[in-house]
Amino acid sequence: MLDIYKIGDEVLTEKCSDITEFDEAVRMLSDAMLDTLEEADGVGLAGPQVGVSKKIFVVHIRGEKPIVFINPSIIATSIETGVYEEGCLSIPGVYHDVVRPLRVTIQAQDVNGKAFTIEADGLLARVIQHENDHLYGKLYIDHLDEKERDKVIRAYEKKNRIRRRQKARV
Ligand code: NI
Protein backbone atom coordinates (compact mmCIF):
# COMPACT_ATOMS: atom_id res chain seq x y z
CA MET A 1 0.00 0.00 0.00
CA LEU A 2 1.48 3.32 -1.13
CA ASP A 3 0.93 6.61 0.69
CA ILE A 4 -1.56 8.90 -1.06
CA TYR A 5 -0.41 12.52 -1.23
CA LYS A 6 -2.99 15.15 -0.34
CA ILE A 7 -3.77 18.61 -1.70
CA GLY A 8 -1.13 21.09 -0.59
CA ASP A 9 1.68 18.72 -1.50
CA GLU A 10 3.96 20.08 -4.23
CA VAL A 11 4.08 16.85 -6.25
CA LEU A 12 0.38 17.26 -7.12
CA THR A 13 1.07 20.52 -8.95
CA GLU A 14 4.02 19.32 -11.04
CA LYS A 15 4.00 18.29 -14.70
CA CYS A 16 5.00 14.64 -15.06
CA SER A 17 7.75 13.26 -17.26
CA ASP A 18 7.44 10.36 -19.72
CA ILE A 19 8.19 6.79 -18.74
CA THR A 20 10.95 5.56 -21.05
CA GLU A 21 11.84 2.15 -19.60
CA PHE A 22 9.24 -0.59 -19.45
CA ASP A 23 11.02 -2.66 -16.85
CA GLU A 24 10.20 -4.55 -13.66
CA ALA A 25 10.06 -1.25 -11.73
CA VAL A 26 7.16 -0.01 -13.90
CA ARG A 27 5.28 -3.29 -13.45
CA MET A 28 5.81 -3.14 -9.68
CA LEU A 29 4.68 0.49 -9.58
CA SER A 30 1.50 -0.20 -11.55
CA ASP A 31 0.67 -3.26 -9.40
CA ALA A 32 1.23 -1.23 -6.23
CA MET A 33 -0.93 1.58 -7.61
CA LEU A 34 -3.76 -0.85 -8.41
CA ASP A 35 -3.52 -2.37 -4.91
CA THR A 36 -3.54 1.11 -3.36
CA LEU A 37 -6.54 2.11 -5.48
CA GLU A 38 -8.44 -0.99 -4.40
CA GLU A 39 -7.59 -0.40 -0.73
CA ALA A 40 -8.67 3.24 -0.97
CA ASP A 41 -11.90 2.18 -2.70
CA GLY A 42 -11.32 4.59 -5.60
CA VAL A 43 -11.78 4.29 -9.36
CA GLY A 44 -8.61 6.04 -10.51
CA LEU A 45 -5.13 6.87 -9.24
CA ALA A 46 -2.32 8.84 -10.92
CA GLY A 47 1.46 8.77 -10.38
CA PRO A 48 1.71 12.15 -8.59
CA GLN A 49 -0.86 10.96 -6.04
CA VAL A 50 1.65 8.37 -4.84
CA GLY A 51 4.57 10.81 -5.11
CA VAL A 52 5.75 9.64 -8.55
CA SER A 53 5.98 12.50 -11.06
CA LYS A 54 5.69 10.17 -14.08
CA LYS A 55 3.04 9.81 -16.77
CA ILE A 56 1.14 6.84 -15.40
CA PHE A 57 -2.37 6.35 -14.09
CA VAL A 58 -4.54 3.36 -13.29
CA VAL A 59 -8.31 3.01 -13.60
CA HIS A 60 -10.45 0.31 -12.06
CA ILE A 61 -14.19 0.60 -12.50
CA ARG A 62 -16.19 -1.99 -10.54
CA GLY A 63 -16.98 -5.04 -12.62
CA GLU A 64 -14.52 -4.05 -15.36
CA LYS A 65 -10.91 -4.99 -15.99
CA PRO A 66 -8.35 -2.60 -14.46
CA ILE A 67 -6.45 -0.54 -17.04
CA VAL A 68 -2.94 0.92 -16.75
CA PHE A 69 -2.27 4.02 -18.87
CA ILE A 70 1.36 4.99 -19.47
CA ASN A 71 2.41 8.13 -21.39
CA PRO A 72 -1.24 8.76 -22.26
CA SER A 73 -2.49 11.39 -24.64
CA ILE A 74 -6.11 12.39 -25.12
CA ILE A 75 -6.35 12.77 -28.88
CA ALA A 76 -10.06 13.63 -29.24
CA THR A 77 -12.89 14.90 -27.03
CA SER A 78 -16.58 15.26 -27.79
CA ILE A 79 -18.08 18.72 -28.10
CA GLU A 80 -20.97 17.50 -25.98
CA THR A 81 -20.31 17.94 -22.27
CA GLY A 82 -21.90 16.65 -19.10
CA VAL A 83 -21.92 17.31 -15.37
CA TYR A 84 -20.78 14.72 -12.84
CA GLU A 85 -19.97 14.97 -9.15
CA GLU A 86 -16.25 14.24 -8.78
CA GLY A 87 -14.09 13.43 -5.83
CA CYS A 88 -10.36 12.78 -5.55
CA LEU A 89 -8.30 10.54 -3.26
CA SER A 90 -5.99 13.56 -2.79
CA ILE A 91 -8.91 15.68 -1.51
CA PRO A 92 -10.75 13.02 0.49
CA GLY A 93 -14.25 13.51 1.79
CA VAL A 94 -15.39 16.35 -0.48
CA TYR A 95 -17.10 16.33 -3.87
CA HIS A 96 -18.17 18.84 -6.48
CA ASP A 97 -19.88 18.91 -9.89
CA VAL A 98 -17.46 19.25 -12.79
CA VAL A 99 -18.29 19.85 -16.46
CA ARG A 100 -16.29 17.80 -18.96
CA PRO A 101 -16.63 16.34 -22.45
CA LEU A 102 -18.76 13.17 -22.44
CA ARG A 103 -16.50 11.12 -24.71
CA VAL A 104 -12.75 10.94 -25.24
CA THR A 105 -10.30 9.01 -27.34
CA ILE A 106 -7.04 8.25 -25.58
CA GLN A 107 -3.79 6.73 -26.78
CA ALA A 108 -1.40 5.22 -24.24
CA GLN A 109 1.06 2.41 -23.63
CA ASP A 110 0.57 -0.60 -21.39
CA VAL A 111 3.12 -1.90 -18.85
CA ASN A 112 5.03 -3.61 -21.66
CA GLY A 113 5.22 -0.46 -23.74
CA LYS A 114 2.60 -1.67 -26.22
CA ALA A 115 0.48 1.15 -27.64
CA PHE A 116 -3.31 1.03 -27.45
CA THR A 117 -6.23 3.34 -28.16
CA ILE A 118 -9.51 3.49 -26.22
CA GLU A 119 -12.67 5.34 -27.17
CA ALA A 120 -14.42 5.93 -23.87
CA ASP A 121 -17.74 7.28 -22.71
CA GLY A 122 -19.63 7.29 -19.42
CA LEU A 123 -17.69 6.89 -16.18
CA LEU A 124 -14.54 5.68 -17.96
CA ALA A 125 -14.35 8.88 -20.03
CA ARG A 126 -14.83 10.92 -16.86
CA VAL A 127 -12.13 9.08 -14.88
CA ILE A 128 -9.65 9.18 -17.78
CA GLN A 129 -9.92 12.98 -17.98
CA HIS A 130 -9.65 13.41 -14.20
CA GLU A 131 -6.55 11.18 -13.97
CA ASN A 132 -4.93 12.64 -17.08
CA ASP A 133 -5.21 16.10 -15.49
CA HIS A 134 -3.14 14.85 -12.54
CA LEU A 135 -0.22 14.24 -14.93
CA TYR A 136 -0.23 17.98 -15.69
CA GLY A 137 -0.45 19.11 -12.08
CA LYS A 138 -4.16 19.80 -12.34
CA LEU A 139 -6.89 18.81 -9.87
CA TYR A 140 -10.64 18.68 -10.56
CA ILE A 141 -11.13 21.82 -8.47
CA ASP A 142 -9.02 23.70 -11.02
CA HIS A 143 -12.00 23.36 -13.37
CA LEU A 144 -14.19 25.37 -10.96
CA ASP A 145 -14.45 29.12 -10.61
CA GLU A 146 -12.50 30.63 -7.72
CA LYS A 147 -15.44 30.87 -5.34
CA GLU A 148 -16.46 27.22 -5.77
CA ARG A 149 -12.82 26.10 -5.61
CA ASP A 150 -12.33 27.89 -2.29
CA LYS A 151 -15.53 26.35 -0.97
CA VAL A 152 -14.27 22.83 -1.68
CA ILE A 153 -10.88 23.56 -0.10
CA ARG A 154 -12.49 25.06 3.01
CA ALA A 155 -14.81 22.05 3.36
CA TYR A 156 -11.84 19.71 3.02
CA GLU A 157 -9.79 21.64 5.59
CA LYS A 158 -12.68 21.66 8.02
CA LYS A 159 -13.13 17.89 7.71
CA ASN A 160 -9.39 17.43 8.09
CA ARG A 161 -9.24 19.50 11.28
CA ILE A 162 -12.11 17.54 12.77
CA ARG A 163 -10.43 14.26 11.87
CA ARG A 164 -7.16 15.36 13.43
CA ARG A 165 -8.89 16.46 16.63
CA GLN A 166 -10.66 13.10 16.93
CA LYS A 167 -7.36 11.33 16.45
CA ALA A 168 -5.72 13.45 19.15
CA ARG A 169 -8.38 12.42 21.65
CA VAL A 170 -7.80 8.68 21.42
NI1 NI B 1 -7.82 12.77 -8.38
Q: Average pLDDT for consecutive 10-residue bins of the chain (170 residues)?
A: 95 98 97 97 98 98 97 98 97 96 98 98 98 98 96 93 68
145 assigned to some structural domain: yes
143 assigned to some structural domain: yes
Instruction: Give the three-class secondary structure for 136.
Output: strand
Query: Which CATH number is 84's domain given?
Result: 3.90.45.10
Residues spanned by the domain of 46: 10-169
User: Of the residues 24, 64, 80, 131, which is catalytic?
Assistant: 131
4 assigned to some structural domain: no
- CA 35 – ligand 1 centroid, Å: 16
pTM: 0.94
Residue 131 among the catalytic residues: yes
Q: How many domains does the chain have?
A: 1
- Helix or strand holding residue 76 (H, E): strand 67-77
Contact between residue 110 and residue 68 where contact means Cβ atoms under 8 Å apart: yes
pLDDT for 161: 80
**Residues, CB within 5 angstroms of ligand 1 (ion):** 88
Torsion over CA of 1, 33, 37 and 97, rounded to 10 degrees? 130
